[in-house]
Structure 1
Amino acid sequence: MPAPANARFATLHVEHASTVERVATELRRAVFEGELESGTPLRELALAESLGVSRPTVREALTVLVAEGLATREPHRGVTVSTPRAESVRDVCRARWVLEGAGVQAWPTADAVRRRRVRETLEAYTSAVHDGGASYEELNERHLAFHVSLVELTGSPRLIQMAEALMDELKLALAQVDRINRNAHDEAESHEGLVVLLEADRVDGSDGAYESLRRHIDDAEVEIIEALGLE
């Protein structure tokens, strides 16, 4: 006789996984808000006692942060908050230029949905900036979503996936710069200028969107390296 339908799932539960995610969420918040600076050791025992959870739960949450690039695990040293490297920032920005530049160049042939997505992600970012109540983590996510939307103009799932991976590498550094310089408002305004050029179909030329994007990424590279003292 078959078992009742609900009996098939009697061994399933979500409590542990939910606790891991709650711990990971709290650690992300602390990293983005500057409570845990780059290089800070993330000790399992101390975190478990502070958060009131088990060490295995902390260990799993740290594994999540390592996978996201927010933390680094080294043999015999444990886990620390990741520290951006100047050469990595430069390389990521070069790759961003290739991908986002391709997106901007694709604007004339992009469909209305992809074009509208650029405007929508910009408005989500600028509204968060102007409201003043968003966390650095939220600002960072909306900021990077805008840049990914530029790559979405290409219509290439592979290029979009590559862009998302690059943003994961860059998000810790960008969040730290935003926190240090408190310049999210200026960033939002510069992005608005880029979108205005796109919507006017001014892609090429020295005053077009393509060159505007190049200058923006070049400036971002210098700003990140200087603000974080990576040289």
Structure 2
Amino acid sequence: MHPVVLKQVGKTYHLDAVDVPALSDISLEIRPNCFTVISGPSGSGKTTLLNIIGCIDRPDHGEIVVAGQDVQKMSDDALSDFRARHLGFIFQNFNLLPVLTAYENVEYPLMLTKMPAAQRRERVLALLDAVGLADRAGNRPGQLSGGQRQRVAIARALAPAPKLVLADEPTANLDSQTGAAIIALMRKMQREHHVSFVFSSHDPQVLAEADDAVFIRDGRITSVERRTEVPA
């Protein structure tokens, strides 16, 4: 089953008296267990597309199925619960809660799913160890480097065992060496957790790692490159 299927999706933003089309006639299938990169120039619509796939924004029209669910038919409350249970998010500015420790940031989405405390602790510690930050569990974001903060964000995204992880320019605020390490870590976690990753990015390092590359310009998909066989 494809984790995401979009059919003729469109989105227009209404700014004062001006209509600004963001996406037009987007049809796309995201393959399972793949690194999919949505790439295009600034203003091309890639972040809007990522937000629609991530059920953060709703399209004006078209069909969208995520993890087997027709999300267009969900209420806002049902959509919020669906996001918490099935999707993970990684942002370019990390979006960690500054008053919480690394441990507490990773634990936070699990508290929303009512996971028992002992099970939460086991999962959080395992994820922090997997991203190389077991010794930083008690540090707050302000005490961590950019690369370390993004590692916490990756652990947090994977905490609820999502079907799909969405990453919006995850290397944009990192130097190239740290960015390369983060890409390698995301690839490792994607394979170990059998989860689909979808990125918006124009970072050549991210694009080079893509199993599938979706190119977008002026709100329309211009081409899709299937670069690998679907991993088992």
Band of TM-score, shorter chain = under 0.3
Instruction: Give the alignment's TM-score, normalised by structure 1.
Output: 0.26
Q: Considering only CA atoms, is the larger Rg found in Structure 1 or Structure 2?
A: 1
Instruction: Give the alignment's TM-score, normalised by structure 2.
Output: 0.26
- Which gives a bigger RCO, structure 1 or 2 (Cα 8 Å, sep 6+)? 2
Q: Which has the higher strand share?
A: 2
Q: Which has the higher helix share?
A: 1
